[in-house]
Structure 1
C-alpha cells in the first residue's frame, strides 16, 4: 500500500504548495493530491511547481465534472503529465445538484449515467484514439492531438454502492472519502469487485482519502474533526453514505466524536494512526491519501507539515530525509 498526501487547503499563493510538494520529493510519499479548488486551478498549480523545478506525481480528486468538458479534462490531465514528466491520476465526480444547476443549467437526470459517459470519453481521449460516445449528458467525436506523455489514469469518486459498481466497470481507480476501512470492506470493495462488465484488463485500484491528526496537549479532537469534515457532513450524499456505514448523525457536535469512534477520522499518536491505517492495507486498498486539512485549518500549514512528517516517517516503504528549512 502506498501513502500519498493531500494539499490541505485552497491555496491563496502558489508558494504555499512548495513544502507539501517537497514532502513528496523528500520522502517515499507516492503522490501530491489536490481537491476541487476555487482559488488557483489545480492543474495550473502543479504545472507552476514543475516550472520552478519541483516535478512530482499528481492526483486530482475529485474534480467536479460540471466545471469542464470531458475533452478539456483529458487535455488538462495530459498537459500536467507532459509538463511534469510524472504520472497523473485524474479523478472525477458529478458534484452536488446545486453545482450541476449552476454550471450546466439543470441537474443530471442520472449522475451515474453522466459519470459513466464522462469517464468513458476521458479515458478514450487519453488513449490517443478517435473517441465516439453519444450519451444523454456528454457526447463527443474527437481525438487528442498526439503527444508523448507520462501515464494518465482516470478515477471516479465513490461514496456509495452504485458508484462503486460503476468504478469497477469503467475507471482505473476508485477514490473514496470519509469511508472507514470497515465500510470499504463490507460495502464498497465487494461492489467494485462484483462489477459485471469490467472494460479494462486490470482490476480497479482503490485510493482512500483518510483525515488524520496527531494528538497533542494543545489540540482538541472535536475541533480538528469539525474543521476537516464539517462541510461534508452538511451534504446529503455524505450523510447518506455515513448512515450506510452505520454512523447515525444527529446534527450536533457529537457527530464528530462518532467519526473518531468509527475510524473515519484518525486521531492519536503516529503509531495509533498507523494501526488504523493498516486496516486499509489488510482489505486491499492500494493508496492512502493523508488528509491533514483539519490541522491546517486550525493550527496552520507548519503544524500540518509537522504531522505529515511524523506520520510519513513511520510509513512502510517511506524514507524521510529532513527537509532543509529553506524548502519548507
Structure 2
C-alpha cells in the first residue's frame, strides 16, 4: 500500500507559520509532513516548534544538504528531532549543487557518490551503534553518542540519477526523489535501487516521490504554477540532466516558459481536477513508489499559503488520506 504525505509548500520565516500545516498533518492522518532545506529557517527547529505547540507528527527532510553540517552534528540534530516529536523521522541527505559546495567548502566534491557514501556511513553508524571509527576521503569521524530509546529514524538519500539510486540501494533506508516523472522512476530509478540493494545483499529502500501538483481552476496559468514551483531546480545541472534523461528538455536561460510547458507535458508537474490528479498519482503507486508527497509550492507561490493548505486537504481526501 502506498502512503500519502505532503510537503510544507513554503519557507516559514516564523515557526508559528507552520502550525496550520502541522495541524492538518495531525488530524488528517497523513503519513508524514515534509520540509526541504532552506537558508531562511531550519526545518528541524520548525518541526520541533510544532511538536512543542502540540502538533506531534512524523516528519521528513527532503533533503538536508551535506555541506551545511558535519555528519556527527547531523546525527545529533536528527536524534533531537525524533526525541522532540515523539514520532518517526526520515532524515534525507544530499550533496547539493556543485556551486553550493564550492561556496561553502572551497571546492566541489571530487566524487559526489564518494562524499555521500562517507557522510551516510558516519551518520548511520552513530544512529544505529552510537559510535563510529571511520576514515574517508571526504568525511572522517571518531566519536560516540549515548544510545537512547527513540522513535525510528530512517536515513534517506536525495536521488535523481542512476548512480545515486544505486548507492541508495546499497546504504540508505529511503530514496527520495523530486520532480521525477513516473516513467523515469519506473525505467531508471527503481531498477538502479534494486541493483544496489542486490549488490549489498539488503532489502530495497523505500521510495519516496515528492510530486509537484496543482488543481485546475479557470483563472490559473499552469505555466506560471510550474515555474513558481520549480524554476530554481530547473536551472541546476543535475536536475537538467535528470529531466533530459526522462525526455524533458529545459532551457531556463533562453526559454523559461517553454521549459515549464515541457515540464507539464512530460509529466513532471501534474495539473488537473481531483479525479485526474488522483488517477495520475495512482500511476506512481503502480510503478512501485512507497510514499507520494504532495508538493503544492506552485500554488503557495502564486495564490498564497492558505489556498495551498486548502488544496492539500482536498487532495489528501481525494487519495484517501
TM-score under structure 1 normalisation? 0.94
Secondary structure class of the residue paired with 2:319:
coil
Whole-angstrom CA distance in 1 between matches of 2:286 and 2:151: 30
- SS of the aligned residue for 1:314 comes to helix
Alignment of 1:212 with 2:216, yes or no, is no
Who is 1:31 aligned against?
32
**Equivalent residues of 1:128, 1:145 under 8 A apart:** no
Provide, for residues 162-218 of structure 1, a one-character-per-residue CA deviation record: whole Å limited to 9, x for no partner: 001000000000001110110000111101101166557432110000000001112
Please list the CA deviations of residues 268-325 of structure 1 after superposition, one character each: whole Å capped at 9, or x if unmatched.
1111111111111001110011000000011001110111111011113x2xxxxxxx
2:230 and 2:277 mapped to 1: Cα distance? Answer: 17
1:265 corresponds in structure 2 to: 269
For residue 15 of structure 1, report the CA deviation from its aligned partner.
Answer: 1.3
- Does the aligned pair in 1 maintain the 2:197–2:204 contact within 8 Å? no
Using the alignment, how far apart are the partners of 1:62 and 1:133 within structure 2?
23
State the match for 1:105 in structure 2.
106
Q: Distance in 1 between matches of 2:46 and 2:268?
A: 29
Which residue does the alignment assign to 1:321?
none
**Which residue of structure 1 lines up, in the alignment, with residue 295 of structure 2?**
291
1:1-328 equivalent positions in 2, closer than 5 A: 1-195=2-196, 199=200, 201-251=202-252, 252=255, 253-316=257-320, 318=321
Q: CA deviation at 1:27?
A: 1.0
Q: Which SS does the other structure have where 2:40 is aligned? A: coil
**Is the 1:170–1:200 contact (alpha carbons within 8 Å) kept by the matching residues of 2?**
no
Can you give the 5+ residue segments of structure 1 that lack an aligned partner in the other structure?
Answer: 319-328
CA contact (8 A) 2:44 2:81 kept: yes
Count of aligned pairs: 317
Tell me the equivalent position of 1:323.
Answer: none
Task: Give the distance between the partners of 1:260 and 1:276, measured in 2 at CA.
Answer: 12
C-alpha contact 2:6 2:33 (8 A) present in aligned 1: yes
Structure 1 window deviating more from structure 2 (199-208 vs 66-75): it is: 199-208
Distance 2:295 2:314 in 1: 14
Partner of 1:324: none
SS at match of 1:179: coil
For 1:222 and 1:4, the matched residues in 2 are separated by 25
CA contact (8 A) 1:263 1:276 kept: no
Give the corresponding residue for 1:325. none
In the alignment, the residues of structure 2 paired with residue 293 and residue 275 of structure 1 have an alpha-carbon distance, to the nearest angstrom, of: 21
1:170–1:198 Cα contact (<8 Å) kept: no
What is the Cα deviation at residue 16 of structure 1? Answer: 1.1
How far 1:249 sits from its partner (Å)?
2.1
Provide the TM-score with structure 2 as the length reference. 0.96
Choose 264-273 or 190-199, whichever is displaced more.
Answer: 190-199
**Residue 130 of structure 1: how far off its partner (Å):** 2.2
Conserved? CA contact 2:170–2:202, under 8 Å = no
Which 4+ runs in 1 deviate beyond 6 A? none
SS of the equivalent of 1:11 reads: coil
Shift of 1:250: 4.0
Alpha-carbon distance change, 189 to 293 in structure 1, aligned in 2, over 3 angstroms = same
Note if contact 1:10-1:38 (Cα within 8 Å) is conserved in structure 2. Answer: no
Q: 1:311 to 1:200 in 2, by over 3 A?
A: farther
